[in-house]
Amino acid sequence: MYFFLNYLSLSDLCYTSTVTPKLMIDLLAERKTISYSNCMLQLFSTHLFGGIEIFILTGMAYDRYVAICRPLHYIVIMSRPRCNCIISACCSGGFLHSASQLLLTIFLPFCGPNEIDHYFCDVYPLLKLACTDTHTVGLLVIVNSGLIALMTFVILMVSYVLILCTIRVYPAESRSKALSKCGCHIMVVVLFFVPVLFIYLRPNITLPADKVFALFYTIIALMFNPLIYTLRNLEMKDAVRKMCHQNCLGRS
């Protein structure tokens, strides 16, 4: 679990760094600009680390399935070489996804307005500026981004259904421990995937609410990841309880 958490944390850091610094600069600046090359770089890096994030979350779901449903075989199945292969596959999948998004966008002719209604360079806002018919490109974006997110989300939900079916026969204490292990991961998955599916699993249109939903999967969900996984740690829970207890005694 901690092996995957290390890479998830690194992915979170890189992912939010592609958007947050530029967003903070734009909030302070009167004129918000970005060059074409930097815009394409931001598009590529955002989808690269976003894709890696999605695949790592899927790998973590598989890790939990093996840990709960096949505990006696866990060490054999989730060996270090197997874990390294999963991380390599996550990085490769993220790169292929990002490269496809970039290739769909970089060859489009941009000859009209140069303002995007977004706080970072994404595919749909850029397609709106293209001086050509982008219907086919929009469908390819749905196949590339929307269906990838949908399939991984379905795989995640199926894995948790199998886990719930398995732990029904467990004793109450073991069942509670298994649910605690999965609860934080389900919360992270919902915070991340629901906004992604809302934006990318639809035709090539942009809505005013897109910027709000994009905040969830680019900043808010990533910001909650350390908090959610930290509060699962027993030592951290004890420390929080002691701190709250001391504050209550101090006030009284």
Domain boundaries, given as residue ranges, for the chain: 2-251
What confidence tier does 83 reach under pLDDT thresholds 50, 70, 90? very high
Percent over 90 (pLDDT), the chain: 17
Average pLDDT over residues 61-67: 87
Residue 252 pLDDT exceeds 60: no
The helix (run of H) or strand (run of E) holding residue 103 is: helix 80-106
77-92: average pLDDT: 92
Query: CB under 8 Å to 85, separation ≥6 — which residues?
Result: none
Asked if pLDDT for residue 226 goes beyond 80, the answer is no
Give the confidence band of 208 by pLDDT, cuts at 50, 70, 90: confident
Q: Cite the beta strand spans of 109-159 per DSSP E.
A: none
Residues 6+ apart with CB under 8 A from 83: 3, 4
Kindly state the average pLDDT of the residues 80-84.
91
Cβ count near 210 (within 10 Å): 18
Q: What confidence category does residue 86 fall into, taking pLDDT thresholds of 50, 70 and 90?
A: very high
Say whether pLDDT at 64 is over 60.
yes
pLDDT (average), residues 143-169: 85
Q: Which is more confidently placed, 118 or 242?
A: 118
Task: Dump the DSSP string for 123-144.
Answer: HHHHHTT-SS--HHHHHHHIII
Q: What is the mean pLDDT of residues 87-93?
A: 94
Return the CATH number of the domain spanning residue range 2-251. Answer: 1.20.1070.10
Q: Summarize the confidence of residues 180-191 as an average pLDDT.
A: 75
Q: Is residue 176 predicted with pLDDT exceeding 80?
A: no
CB atoms within 10 A of CB 50: 24
Average confidence (pLDDT) over 50-71: 88
Of residues 9, 163, 151, 148, the one with CA closest to residue 87:
9
Q: How far apart are CA 95 and CA 136, in angstroms?
A: 22
d(CA 194, CA 199): 9
pLDDT for 211 equals: 85
Q: Which residue has the higher pLDDT, 187 or 54?
A: 54
Looking at mean pLDDT, say which of 71-75, 80-84, 201-205 comes out highest.
80-84
CA distances from 32 to 120, 134, 145, 193 (A): 11, 26, 27, 29
Using alpha carbons only, give the angle 86, 9, 80 rounded to the nearest 5 degrees.
30
CB-based contacts of 150, cutoff 8 Å, min separation 6: 197, 201
The reported pTM is 0.85
